[in-house]
Chains A and B, each alone.
Chain A
Amino acid sequence: MSFLAPLAFGAGVVAALAAVVLHLLSTRRPPRAVLPTARFVPESEARAVSRSSRPTDRLLLASRVLAALLIGAAFARPVPDAPGPSVRHVVLLDLSSNVADRAAAAREAIARAGDGGAIVAFDTTARRLDTADVARPDPPRSAPGILSAALVAGLREARAIARGADSVRLVVVSPLAEEAFDAATAGARAAWPGGITLVRVPAATDTARAPLPSLDTPLADDPFAPALPRLDPARGAHAVRIVRRAPSAADSAWARQAGRVLVHWPVGATAPASADGVMAFGQRPATLVAPLARLHSVVDTAATAPARSGSRPAERARVIARWRDGAVAATERRLDAGCVRDVAVGVPLAGDLTLRAPFVAFLQAVVEPCGGARGATVSDSAARAFTGDDRAASARLLVAAGATDQTLAAWLLGGALLALAAEWAMRRRRDA
């Protein structure tokens, strides 16, 4: 038996020691004795100090000590000890489409779970799986993995297996794709009272070959045209339309379809004399330094401003590129199943900038699928911030946070009541 609140048991021990001391130093009424000449004894308090090296009323003392210890133990939230490994593992296994080799990830999860551990598989939902279910080949899933749901399920499983263990270690077997993080992830992570062991497995990447982006431009000799064939064909199976004018209703209707990206990249004004820098945050970040014009009217600053209270975060635009001074250079807005991207980077109409590799890389980041390229994972520093240190969570903390079994405490309290009743009976018999 161990205690979740050992201070309460310590208080019980202190009370028991105090009872022993009081029995050694107690002032009590001395026994009555007949003395006919009692009238000559000076009048004084009828209770006299009686100190002894051995405690008085040892049965009474024993009942009091027993009651104090039992009450202290009952309020110390006792939990019974059960045999088993001192450290148990809860493995969160990512089975989403972001995992390149789910069989290898499953093997890793089984090896990490060990004896007495639990495996929680997650994609958009999280569920506990037996070892056999994990090892069985699983049909490929296209759903993304939601880490917050997995953390909540893992916490629940950890509380279930924490009884009888000293600590529980949480292992995440996942590539930690960016899409696995949502608004609830931070809260779910904070609920776990320990560190997380991260086993990063390779992320899946899109291998489908996408068609060339279509270019809708008012210019007869648009410099983007020679750049489009230079894009990586294995960037994904989504359709991209680059509109170099104001988008029409037909463009918006087209962009509402799933797997479509409408890029609104107006023709720039006159290029400035000095060079400027812009960086796109794609799967492979790209930096472009050239005499670029800042098209402030293109980017909706209100959409990129910090969310005010009451506004829905989902409506905010995602920044996909910034100027070197931090100003927003390109944003992405969801539009039903598709999305619209506004690029406020004025590319000079003359020159060979669009033929150079930095521009092609920048363009590659701009034409990624909605929400970013699949397989994009968080950086190592972000992963370290998520996992924290590698320490396991105390089983006591986990059981304390969950619903504890009050049966043992109830028995202890019952024993304490019996001891108190015996103490009361002995005290009455002694005073009679």
Chain B
Amino acid sequence: MAVGPYGALLDAVRGVRWPARRPVPGGAPGAHQARTRGIAPEFAEYRPYRQGDDPRRIDWKLLARSDRAFIRLAPDHATLGTTFIVDASASMGFAGKWALAKRLAVALGAVAHASADPVGLIVASASRARRLPPRARGGVIAEFARTLDDTECGGTVDLAPLVAASASRCVVITDALGDADALRTALSRHQAQGGEAHLLHVVARLELDPAGDAVLATDPEDETIARPLVADTRDAYRARFDAWRGEVARQFRADGVAYHEVCDDAAVEQLVRRVVTPAGARAEAEARR
């Protein structure tokens, strides 16, 4: 698998599993617990035979002992299709945000792919949205890497319409500076339809703590926004940005979206482990710390 500069990262996340946050709909056998019961060797319960059941699933020994026909049931496991929607707007090209987004998509894709889940990719850029449909075959991660490396950030994009084309598990990697409200609505709808939604909010260290020089800060997606960032306005900027990030996290979490803020100076493998850890386990870990 030709993954170029991502080899070390993939080695670091090898063995990491990304369980579904809740039972998945039935489907192809996979690693995630399904909402259905199947014929797996592990015993779960008996159910009286009903007309139409497959006679081969009758527990013949129990029938011999009790002269009553029961069907032997076992927990079912299925795969969980995962689609990564990566924001490639102009704002994502700032500092190390795009590099972090690429590495997160590749690493999480590899983690999901390791569980035999089909993984797909949608790269939303101003020119067009490049799509890789969810697949479980080998080499899909290398295809991820090539597609992301070939993409240049620029312009403005709307991510919300892309959520409808996502698989059950939708992972959006964005800085949320575009259509954040519409995206939240789309992800909320996706959750209501039985899907699983993750939002990886990418921020740059230079956005959290801008350099001390006096500059005329210009929005790359809106040239009309040009404001002097000087000593007098820097504290107010930090306060406003912090408040906005807090509000975004609160709103997404309130809608059931797994929200994670990721900074471009953090280690990607640690971010991956944080993302794949279930919320309850993460809360316990944080409580232990």
Shortest CB–CB separation between residue B245 and chain A, in angstroms? 10
Give every chain A residue within 8 A of B228 (Cβ-Cβ). 30, 41, 44-48
List 12 extra interface pairs beyond A30-B213, A38-B219, A45-B228, CB under 8 A: A32-B215, A35-B218, A37-B177, A38-B218, A39-B225, A40-B237, A40-B241, A41-B237, A42-B227, A44-B227, A47-B228, A50-B214
Give every chain B residue within 8 A of A37 (Cβ-Cβ). 177, 207, 237, 241
B94's closest neighbor in chain A, by CB? A36
Taken together as a complex, chains A and B put the C-alpha atoms of A41 and B235 apart, in Å, by 9
**Residues on A facing B (Cβ under 8 Å):** 29-48, 50
Give every chain A residue within 8 A of B225 (Cβ-Cβ). 38-39
Give every chain A residue within 8 A of B196 (Cβ-Cβ). none
Give every chain B residue within 8 A of A29 (Cβ-Cβ). 216
A35 and B210 in contact, given A40-B244, A48-B230 (Cβ under 8 angstroms): yes
Taken together as a complex, chains A and B put the C-alpha atoms of A161 and B218 apart, in Å, by 68
Q: Can you sample 9 A-B contacts with CB below 8 Å?
A: A29-B216, A33-B216, A33-B218, A35-B217, A36-B207, A37-B237, A39-B177, A41-B236, A44-B228
Give every chain B residue within 8 A of A42 (Cβ-Cβ). 227, 233, 236-237, 240
Shortest CB–CB separation between residue A392 and chain B, in angstroms? 61
Contact yes or no, B241 A31, CB < 8 A: no
Contact yes or no, A41 B94, CB < 8 A: no
- Please tell me if B141 contacts chain A, counting CB pairs below 8 Å: no
Name B57-74 residues within 8 Å CB distance of A: none
Give every chain A residue within 8 A of B219 (Cβ-Cβ). 35-36, 38-39
- Please tell me if B155 contacts chain A, counting CB pairs below 8 Å: no
What's the A-B contact tally at a CB cutoff of 8 Å? Answer: 89
- Please tell me if B175 contacts chain A, counting CB pairs below 8 Å: yes
Contact yes or no, A36 B221, CB < 8 A: yes
Taken together as a complex, chains A and B put the C-alpha atoms of A413 and B123 apart, in Å, by 64
Shortest CB–CB separation between residue B87 and chain A, in angstroms? 11
Give every chain A residue within 8 A of B90 (Cβ-Cβ). 36
Taken together as a complex, chains A and B put the C-alpha atoms of A42 and B204 apart, in Å, by 20
Name B9-32 residues within 8 Å CB distance of A: none
Contact yes or no, A30 B207, CB < 8 A: no
Interface band, chain B: 20 to 34
7 closest A-B pairs by CB: A36-B91, A33-B215, A38-B217, A35-B217, A41-B227, A40-B240, A30-B214
- Please tell me if B220 contacts chain A, counting CB pairs below 8 Å: yes
Taken together as a complex, chains A and B put the C-alpha atoms of A34 and B217 apart, in Å, by 6
Name B174-226 residues within 8 Å CB distance of A: 175, 177, 204, 206-207, 210, 213-222, 225-226
| Prevailing SS type, chain B contact patch | mixed
A45's closest neighbor in chain B, by CB? B228
Contact yes or no, A33 B217, CB < 8 A: yes
Shortest CB–CB separation between residue A335 and chain B, in angstroms? 97
Give every chain B residue within 8 A of A34 (Cβ-Cβ). 94, 217-218, 220
Instruction: Name the residue in A32, A39, A45 with the highest tally of chain B Cβ atoms < 10 Å from its Cβ.
Output: A39
Give every chain B residue within 8 A of A43 (Cβ-Cβ). 227
Contact yes or no, B214 A41, CB < 8 A: no
- Please tell me if B229 contacts chain A, counting CB pairs below 8 Å: yes
Contact yes or no, B227 A46, CB < 8 A: yes
Give every chain A residue within 8 A of B227 (Cβ-Cβ). 38, 41-44, 46
Taken together as a complex, chains A and B put the C-alpha atoms of A29 and B244 apart, in Å, by 28
Taken together as a complex, chains A and B put the C-alpha atoms of A29 and B230 apart, in Å, by 11
Give every chain B residue within 8 A of A30 (Cβ-Cβ). 213-216, 228, 230
Name B68-126 residues within 8 Å CB distance of A: 90-91, 94
Contact yes or no, A32 B218, CB < 8 A: yes
A34's closest neighbor in chain B, by CB? B220
A36's closest neighbor in chain B, by CB? B91
Give every chain A residue within 8 A of B244 (Cβ-Cβ). 40
Give every chain A residue within 8 A of B218 (Cβ-Cβ). 32-35, 38
Give every chain A residue within 8 A of B241 (Cβ-Cβ). 37, 40
Taken together as a complex, chains A and B put the C-alpha atoms of A142 and B109 apart, in Å, by 128
A38's closest neighbor in chain B, by CB? B217
Shortest CB–CB separation between residue B180 and chain A, in angstroms? 12
Contact yes or no, B215 A31, CB < 8 A: yes
Give every chain B residue within 8 A of A44 (Cβ-Cβ). 227-228, 232-233
Taken together as a complex, chains A and B put the C-alpha atoms of A38 and B219 apart, in Å, by 5
A32 and B240 in contact, given A37-B177, A38-B219, A42-B233 (Cβ under 8 angstroms): no
Give every chain A residue within 8 A of B94 (Cβ-Cβ). 34-36
A29's closest neighbor in chain B, by CB? B216
Contact yes or no, A32 B233, CB < 8 A: no
Taken together as a complex, chains A and B put the C-alpha atoms of A47 and B227 apart, in Å, by 9
Give every chain A residue within 8 A of B175 (Cβ-Cβ). 36
Shortest CB–CB separation between residue A104 and chain B, in angstroms? 85
A43's closest neighbor in chain B, by CB? B227
A31's closest neighbor in chain B, by CB? B215
Give every chain A residue within 8 A of B226 (Cβ-Cβ). 32, 38, 46
Shortest CB–CB separation between residue A55 and chain B, in angstroms? 17
Taken together as a complex, chains A and B put the C-alpha atoms of A45 and B216 apart, in Å, by 10
Taken together as a complex, chains A and B put the C-alpha atoms of A38 and B217 apart, in Å, by 5
Give every chain B residue within 8 A of A47 (Cβ-Cβ). 228
Give every chain A residue within 8 A of B204 (Cβ-Cβ). 36
